[in-house]
Structure 1
Amino acid sequence: MKILHLISSPRQDGSYSIQLGKAIVAQLQSKYPGSIVKTRDLTATPFPHLEEMHIRSFHTPPEARSDEQVEALKHSDEAIEELLDADVVVIGVPMYNFSIHSSLKAWIDHIFRVGRTFKYGEYGVEGLVKGKKVYLAIATGGIYSDGAMKAFDFTEPYLKSALGFIGLTDITTYRVEGVSIPDVKETALEKAIERVAV
């Protein structure tokens, strides 16, 4: 079993999404002894935001790419190979202003490649990244899984739509919620970890 663990919180030891993600990884390692874990901290070594060179390189046939375009694709190629090599993907997702951290968005921008992770066919779009399990470890200051604030949660809906577009449709979400709410934050992480079942 090969596990890809993506971290997108800059808070390191103080991050609830990292702690929840690590708990999911630990359960996977317990269930599948000998598993290999590849951890990529997207905030420590962030992917560059897409520029014109990246986009032109994406749409240039491999045999026609210049040395500069090949260099521009290195981050994307590496990220896609890591994703394709993994059996399970665990993604730590702290909520920032109702959505995901920009480091995670940059990673997504680099793995979306026509011909590599999706294609257009006779019946529309087909995702090419199949047969993998994804776990989302979402951390939020408030309660967004239910109630009045649910409409403000653009983390899980966006990630499920984006990842599903490239074929990653087997997605399970675990949440640590209310980490900024008195009388909730003290036990929020403990309760979230108790709910994890891989």
Structure 2
Amino acid sequence: MKLLHIDSSILGENSVSRILSAAIVAHLKVRGDVEVIYHDLAARPIGNLTGRYLAGQNADVQHDQALQEDLHLGGRVLTEFLAAETIVIGVPMYNLTIPSQLKAWIDHIMVAGKTFHYTHNGPVGLAGDKRVILALARGGHYSPGSPAAGMEHQESYLRAVLGFIGIMEITTVLAEGVALGAHAREKAIASAREVIATL
């Protein structure tokens, strides 16, 4: 199995989403032959989309060295994504949504003609043969039924964007309330590990 492992937290070893994503990958590796490609988007961020990048995909646009490198990186990101059978993504919640580093990566895999295309009946996803496991960490509580549920734009956004490109097999491993004290953090991590054991 080809597995793409993405981390996006800026907190390094203190990151709960990194702890969970690593545990998920370790669990999957024990269960079979797994080839892993890993990217730390905080340590080596992918640039935001630019007009030059989009224009540079046309053959008649002159490329300088910087643009060539940008296009090469974007092409590699897309190729790795398309080749992966399973994608594990470590996702902290920052300001009610996902890190900007992860959004930049998503922008490079949302490519018309590659991961989706438009029809008269609306968009159709082309990447539905993949499984995605989201390792989600949140400082507070935003799950359905909580007072802040309406402000959750982390999991809901990821499910929407992945669904747009055809991916419906999405599993979430969630640790909530990790900023509410050491006990709450450890309890949330332990609960998430129980879910990982069932994957």
Do the two structures share a fold, i.e. TM-score over 0.5? Answer: yes
Corresponding residue for residue 48 of structure 2? 49
Q: For 1:108, give the aligned amino acid.
A: I
Give 1:29 deviation, angstroms: 1.1
Give 1:123 deviation, angstroms: 2.6
2:134 to 133, 136, 139: 136
Instruction: Give, in whole Å, the separation in 2 of the partners of 1:125 and 1:148.
Output: 34
Instruction: Give, in whole Å, the separation in 2 of the partners of 1:170 and 1:4.
Output: 15
Which moved further from structure 2: 49-58 or 73-82?
49-58
1:76 lines up with 2:74 in the alignment: yes
Instruction: Give, in whole Å, the separation in 2 of the partners of 1:186 and 1:72.
Output: 40
1:25 lines up with 2:25 in the alignment: yes
Corresponding residue for residue 108 of structure 1? 106
Corresponding residue for residue 195 of structure 2? 195
Show CA shifts across 1:1-37 (max 9, x none): 11100000111111100010111111211222x2111
Instruction: Give, in whole Å, the separation in 2 of the partners of 1:131 and 1:192.
Output: 26
Give unpaired runs (5+ residues) of structure 1. none
The structure-2 alpha-carbon separation of the partners of 1:168 and 1:177, relative to structure 1 and needing over 3 Å to count, comes to same
SS in 1 for 2:132: strand
Give 1:55 deviation, angstroms: 2.3
Which moved further from structure 2: 121-130 or 67-76?
67-76
Give 1:66 deviation, angstroms: 3.5
Corresponding residue for residue 173 of structure 1? 172
The alignment covers a number of residue pairs equal to 194
Q: Retained in 1: the 8 A contact 2:55–2:61?
A: no
1:120 lines up with 2:118 in the alignment: yes
SS in 1 for 2:39: strand
TM-score (norm 1): 0.91
Q: Retained in 2: the 8 A contact 1:75–1:110?
A: no
Instruction: Give, in whole Å, the separation in 2 of the partners of 1:73 and 1:112.
Output: 14
Instruction: Give, in whole Å, the separation in 1 of the partners of 2:186 and 2:123.
Output: 45
Give 1:71 deviation, angstroms: 4.3
Corresponding residue for residue 156 of structure 1? 155
1:67 lines up with 2:63 in the alignment: yes
Show CA shifts across 1:31-70 (max 9, x none): 22x2111111111111111111012235x3xx44533465
Give 1:165 deviation, angstroms: 0.9
Corresponding residue for residue 15 of structure 1? 15
Which moved further from structure 2: 63-72 or 99-108?
63-72
Show CA shifts across 1:62-95 (max 9, x none): x445334654422221111010111100010000
Instruction: Give, in whole Å, the separation in 1 of the partners of 2:128 and 2:73.
Output: 21
Show CA shifts across 1:149-190 (max 9, x none): 211110001011111111222111110111111342232211
Identical aligned residues as a percent: 40
SS in 2 for 1:181: coil
